[in-house]
């Protein structure tokens, strides 16, 4: 009888061509998909490939997304985007998404992910792919160059940290609140560069975009990846994204009965309140009510973490029939062009703009200080993004609070942080 394995171990074993693996072993895995963007991608790896006299091992396994410097605002960013386009052509990368949205959202939206895959991304929020039962993690440009040349990468087989959410979330409480609560409890290195597995009734009840929020911020827990075991919800999303039904395996990609997690932490979903992370760390989180009255200059709904269609729906629920407070600016950067199209079609965009929201291009934007919406000295912002590190969103004296789209929209309307449930029917 084979030893029981966790989902993470099964994914790594398959990619390493092994029957079984044990945590701590160092293995070499075959990469099914390598994702890069304009910032850490061609402009960094092209000179390295040239230096080695090497070419991409398999252009069909590469996905390239321009999302950081979009649209260009000066000659430097225009040059980076131009270089990215030219490299895509010369390297024969067919799956190139130029200014179509943020890589972590575009990837599943265009049907590039499926359960069982082993994937790397040149971006730290690459664990987002774990929401689909894929083993996906972030790497730097040199490491990516190695993958592009060999199609392989080494890793230490991770331990599994099980984060189990029992019960059901209350009204106005969402995945962002769950992950902020986990950051507060476990700290920014609680994931120990191991594999996090989110499970339990509340996780199983989440739609895919919300599972993506959990896995995306496995990065903030310091994990290598964050996983949710695939199920009927996964299958439904992927089929809608154009993945052939026959290519979606869910039964195989589960924790085996009796598989040992190195750690298990249990959370009570029903007891969770909307959360806010105070400056300058996602781990600095507590109930939004405790920050009630903190005045904001800017409310930002954007980034891979917090501007998917469900996120815009949350904001619209709060903003419907209301106006953004005077002296507050609400900026909304939908995560992808398809998100924008869907939000236009269902009336969400109109609700946002009627309330006074200003629409920005789909891209990484102000979240990491790359695009429109950066902050001046001493300004205060509340954002649906993943990180509020000092100086990340602009001036180093600026203060950034993090919350769910509900909480960001509520602050935009009130001009100060509130528990968003005050604004929900």
Give the residues lining the site for another protein (CB under 8 A).
39-40, 44, 48, 51-52, 69, 74, 76-77, 80, 122-124, 126, 138-143, 145-146, 188-189, 193, 219, 222, 224, 281, 368-370, 374, 387, 389-392, 394, 396
Least gap, CB of 401 to another protein (angstroms): 16
Residues 6+ apart with CB under 8 A from 9: 20, 21, 22, 23, 157, 160, 259
Identity of the residue, 17 or 140, whose beta carbon is nearer to another protein in the bound complex? 140
Task: Output the smallest distance, CB 362 to another protein, in A.
Answer: 18
The smaller minimum CB distance to another protein, of residues 51 and 171, is found at 51
| For another protein, the closer CB: 52 or 344 | 52
Distances (CA, A) of 363 to 39, 47, 99, 299: 12, 25, 7, 17
Q: Which residues contact 401 (CB under 8 A, 6 or more apart)?
A: 276, 277, 278, 279, 291, 294, 296, 380, 381, 382, 383, 388, 411, 417
Residue closer to another protein by CB (options 215, 241) is 215
Q: How far is the CB of 45 from another protein (least distance, A)?
A: 10
Residues 306/299, Cβ–Cβ less than 8 Å: no
> Minimum CB separation from another protein for residue 361, in Å?
17
* Residue 146 or 172 with smaller CB distance to another protein: 146
CB of 366 to another protein, least distance (A): 9
Answer for the pair 394, 369: CB distance below 8 angstroms, yes or no. yes
Q: Which is nearer to another protein, 23 or 369 (CB)?
A: 369
DSSP 288: G
Rounded to a whole number of angstroms, the minimum distance from the CB of residue 46 to another protein is: 13
Q: How far is the CB of 302 from another protein (least distance, A)?
A: 14
Nearest to 275 by CA among 205, 176, 156, 405: 176
85 vs 390, which CB is nearer to another protein?
390
Task: For residue 158, give every residue at least 6 positions away whose Cβ sits within 8 Å of its Cβ, in sequence order, or none.
Answer: 8, 12, 23, 193, 194, 195, 224, 225
Residue 407: burial class (beta carbons within 10 Å; 0-12, 13-18, 19+): buried
Contact (Cβ atoms closer than 8 angstroms) between residue 296 and residue 381: yes
Q: Strands (DSSP E) along 336-393, which ranges?
A: 358-359, 380-383
Torsion (CA) 406, 408, 409, 410 in degrees, nearest 10 = 80
How far is 382 from 306, CA to CA, in rounded Å? 12
Closer to another protein by Cβ: residue 3 or 28: 28
Residue with Cβ nearer another protein (38 or 419): 38
By beta-carbon proximity to another protein, the closer residue of 120 and 382 is 120
Q: Give the integer Cα–Cα distance in Å for 180 and 186.
A: 10
Who's near 206: CB < 8 A, 6+ residues apart? 175, 214, 228, 233
3-class SS of residue 62: strand
Shortest separation between residue 225's beta carbon and another protein, angstroms = 10
Q: Alpha-carbon distance 221 to 200, whole Å?
A: 19
- Smallest distance from the beta carbon of 407 to another protein, in angstroms? 22
Alpha-carbon gap, residue 363 to 67, rounded angstroms:
5
User: What's the closest the beta carbon of residue 48 comes to another protein, in angstroms?
Assistant: 6
The nearer residue to another protein, 138 or 420, going by C-beta atoms, is 138
Q: If 0-12 CB within 10 Å is exposed, 13-18 middle and 19+ buried, where does residue 152 land?
A: middle
* Beta bridge mates, 275: 287
> What is the smallest separation between the CB atom of 289 and another protein, expressed in angstroms?
26
Spatial CA neighbour of 368 closest among 35, 65, 67, 66: 67
């Amino acid at each position: 009888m084979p030893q029981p394995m966790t989902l993470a171990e099964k994914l790594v074993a398959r990619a390493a061509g092994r029957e079984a693996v044990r945590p701590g072993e160092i293995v070499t895995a075959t990469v099914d998909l390598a994702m890069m963007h304009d910032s850490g991608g061609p402009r960094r790896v092209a000179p390295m490939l040239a230096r080695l006299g090497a070419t991409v091992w398999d252009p069909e396994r590469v996905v390239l997304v321009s999302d950081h410097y979009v649209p260009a605002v000066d000659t430097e960013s225009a040059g980076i985007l131009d270089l990215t386009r030219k490299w895509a052509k010369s390297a024969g990368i067919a799956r190139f998404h130029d200014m179509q949205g943020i890589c972590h959202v575009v990837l599943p939206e265009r049907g590039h992910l499926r359960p069982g895959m082993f994937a790397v991304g040149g971006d730290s929020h690459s664990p987002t792919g774990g929401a689909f039962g894929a083993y996906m993690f972030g790497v730097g440009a040199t490491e990516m160059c190695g993958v592009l040349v060999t199609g392989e990468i080494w890793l230490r087989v991770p331990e599994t940290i099980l984060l189990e959410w029992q019960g059901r979330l209350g009204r106005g409480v969402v995945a962002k609140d769950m992950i902020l609560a986990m950051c507060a409890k476990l700290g920014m290195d609680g994931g120990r560069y191991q594999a996090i597995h989110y499970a339990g009734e509340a996780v199983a009840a989440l739609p895919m975009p919300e599972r993506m929020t959990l896995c995306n911020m496995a990065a903030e827990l310091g994990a290598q990846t964050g996983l949710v075991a695939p199920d009927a919800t996964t299958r439904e999303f992927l089929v809608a994204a154009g993945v052939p039904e026959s290519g979606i395996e869910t039964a195989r990609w589960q924790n085996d009965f009796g598989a040992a997690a190195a750690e298990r932490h249990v959370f009570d979903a029903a007891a969770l309140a909307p959360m806010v992370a105070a400056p300058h760390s996602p781990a600095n989180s507590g109930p939004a009510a405790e920050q009630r009255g903190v005045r904001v200059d800017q409310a930002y709904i954007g980034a891979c973490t917090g501007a998917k269609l469900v996120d815009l729906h949350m904001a619209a629920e709060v903003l419907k029939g209301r106006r953004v407070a005077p002296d507050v600016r609400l900026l909304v950067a939908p995560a992808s062009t398809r998100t924008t199209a869907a939000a236009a079609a269902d009336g969400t965009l109109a609700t946002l703009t009627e309330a006074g929201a200003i629409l920005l291009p789909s891209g990484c934007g102000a979240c990491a200080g790359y695009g429109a919406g950066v902050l001046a000295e001493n300004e205060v912002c509340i954002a649906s993004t993943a990180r509020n590190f000092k100086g990340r969103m602009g001036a180093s004296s600026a203060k950034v609070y993090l919350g769910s789209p509900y909480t960001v929209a509520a602050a935009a309307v009130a001009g100060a942080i509130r528990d968003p449930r005050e604004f929900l029917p």
